[in-house]
Amino acid sequence: MSTLDPAGLLPPSWQAALQPVLERPETQALLGFLDAEEAAGKRIYPPRESRLRAFTLTPLDAVKVLILGQDPYHGAGQAHGLAFSVPDGVKVPPSLRNINKEIAADIGGAVPVGGNLERWARQGVLLLNTSLSVEEGKAGSHANRGWEAVTDAAVAAVAARSEPCVFLLWGNHAQRKAQRVPGLMDGRHLVLMAPHPSPLSAMTGFFGCRHFSRANAFLGANGREPINWT
């Protein structure tokens, strides 16, 4: 059976936070499910070496902002382990185009180009999806297969930290998940909610939410370096 971290890249801070859940029966069942799907010839995104990439690029002790998505992009070449992000050279998906438009309106300047958000991850933005894999062409296909235990534990680990962090929760799915996390809503962290940036809902309140400037204002007021969103 495979492991969730085949390349051994999970930072020590995340290993300590996630090890208990990685040993649970549901996580072992998840591993078996993923192995069986790939053995059956199904295309699973992102590739297994990239599924924990959000954690490898943003160690727990470096997290300043957590953005919570639902599941990876399900088209070829899109998903690379960071929520809302695509690799260099890949067409920017509609939700990310709307995120970039809101950044330009909120922070000022031109609309950011390109869809690779590694630059955010390396500054302390944890770009986390609820499920960390998906079958090609089938959004939500790996929901309720065991990833939720892993990502719930990750959100709880960030919420348990003493350093103030910002949680950007876009859409009902992210908001329902995060509201289950003990300690998240106790006032130590800044929790900002808005509709999802997808074309279906961005006009209902995502545009104009000003989450990016508000996040930076909170970080600065708490002695933490703001994020360069552009």
Q: Quick check: is 71 catalytic?
A: yes
Q: For residues 54 and 68, is the Cβ–Cβ distance under 8 A?
A: no
Q: Which of 71, 88, 106, 152 is catalytic?
A: 71
To the nearest whole number, what is the mean pLDDT of the chain? Answer: 92
Q: Which two tokens stand for residue 95?
A: 């939700």
Residue 153 is encoded by which pair of tokens? 């534990």
Task: Give Dmax (Cα) for the chain.
Answer: 52
The predicted-structure confidence for 186-213, as pLDDT tens digits, reads as follows: 788 999 999 999 999 999 999 999 999 9
Which has more pLDDT, 111 or 93? 93
CA-CA distance, 12 to 217, in Å (whole number)? 30
Rounded to 5 degrees, φ, ψ at 126 are -85, 110
Architecture of the domain delimited by 6-222? 3-Layer(aba) Sandwich (3.40)
Q: Where are the domains of the chain?
A: 6-222
Q: Enumerate residues 6+ apart whose C-beta is below 8 A from 205.
A: 194, 195
Strand runs labelled E in 89-213:
125-129, 134-135, 166-170, 190-194
Q: pLDDT tens, 160-193?
A: 999 999 999 999 888 888 877 777 777 889 999 9
* Residue 101 confidence (pLDDT) above 80: yes
